[in-house]
Amino acid sequence: MNLFKYSAPSIFYPLAGRLATGFAVAAVLLLVIGLYMSFFVAPTDYKQGEGYRIMFIHVPAAWMSMLIYVVMAGWAAAGMIWRTRLSSMMASALAPTGAMFTFITLWTGALWGKPMWGAWWVWDARLTSELILLFLYIGYMALESAIDDPRRAARACGLLALVGVINVPIIYYSVQWWNTLHQGASIKMSESGGIETSMTDIMLWTLLIMTFACWCYTIAVTLTRVRNTILERESKTVWVKEMVQREEK
């Protein structure tokens, strides 16, 4: 099976439409289940009380903010190496969703931090590096919109994404490298290769379901945004004109 054929916008466009629909349905179902479990099934934390429940939004958003940037940088690198138009389109489509999750991370962190730390914001290493990540997303989108030529914009944004990716491990390991107020990871690998967690099983499952909901949402929204970009950039091609004619009939 030749997967490289899907790098052609004309072949990827219909596939993206089918995938986006499926992932959108999965995202809605998982989100409903996850929110129900977050508010009504997960037990009250013995230290933080009911306020800890914001974790089920904050933690998946934080994970997605970092993951999306790494994937975005990967697509940008692929576009620079193989000069595939679709790769740069994918990187561009991921940026707004990554910025959204980073913004959610910062705000839910502030809402969680106020009752726990007594402050909405502190210049903590993890919080500061997460704020830098938001600026990187905004800078990527601003740079892309400032350059009219899509190819030049893709190269410039690709370089920015690759340089900025070094911030992701800084975010992840900040609580280990520096003395911060932010708590350490609740889920981590043990020396034996297993998974260690300080949460109950129901809390862990709720967190994972919310994370899968965010994944599905990201994929659905990204594919939809890519389809719109393809139509915009390929509007003068034969296959787009033929598709429009078929839809009008």
DSSP assignment of 79-124: HHHH--HHHHHHHHHHHHHHHHHHHHHHHHHHHHHHHHHSSS----
Residue 211 domain flag: yes
Q: Please give the single-letter amino acid code of residue 141.
A: M
Residue 153 has pLDDT above 90, yes or no: yes
Residue 2 domain flag: no
Query: What pLDDT is attached to residue 124?
Result: 87
Residue 5 domain flag: no
Residue 7 domain flag: no
Query: What pLDDT is attached to residue 93?
Result: 97
Query: What pLDDT is attached to residue 87?
Result: 94
Of the ranges 133-137, 177-181, 242-246, the best mean pLDDT one: 133-137
Do β-strands 195-197 and 187-189 pair in parallel, antiparallel, or remain unpaired? antiparallel
Residue 3 domain flag: no
Number of domains in the chain: 1
pLDDT grade, residue 5 (50/70/90)? confident
Query: What pLDDT is attached to residue 167?
Result: 97
Sequence-ordered alpha helix ranges (H) in the chain: 9-36, 55-82, 85-117, 125-146, 150-164, 167-177, 201-233, 238-248
pLDDT grade, residue 194 (50/70/90)? low
Query: What pLDDT is attached to residue 57?
Result: 96
Query: What pLDDT is attached to residue 48?
Result: 83
What's the rounded mean pLDDT across residues 143-161? 95
Query: What pLDDT is attached to residue 200?
Result: 83
Residue 68 domain flag: yes
Higher pLDDT, residue 22 or 6: 22
What domain range is 31 assigned to? 14-182+199-248
For residue 186, the 8-state DSSP code is S
Q: CB within 8 A of 239, min separation 6: which ones? A: 10
Q: What global pTM score does this model have?
A: 0.92
What's the rounded mean pLDDT across residues 106-114? 91
Q: Which of 67, 57, 139 is nearest to 105 (CA)?
A: 57
Residue 157 domain flag: yes
d(CA 139, CA 131): 12
Query: What integer best gives the mean pLDDT of the chain?
Result: 90
What's the rounded mean pLDDT across residues 87-101? 97
Tokens 């970092």 sit at which residue?
A: 66
Residue 84 has pLDDT above 90, yes or no: no
How many other CB atoms sit within 10 Å of the CB of residue 146?
9
127, burial (CB in 10 Å: exposed 0-12, middle 13-18, buried 19+): buried
Residue 161 domain flag: yes
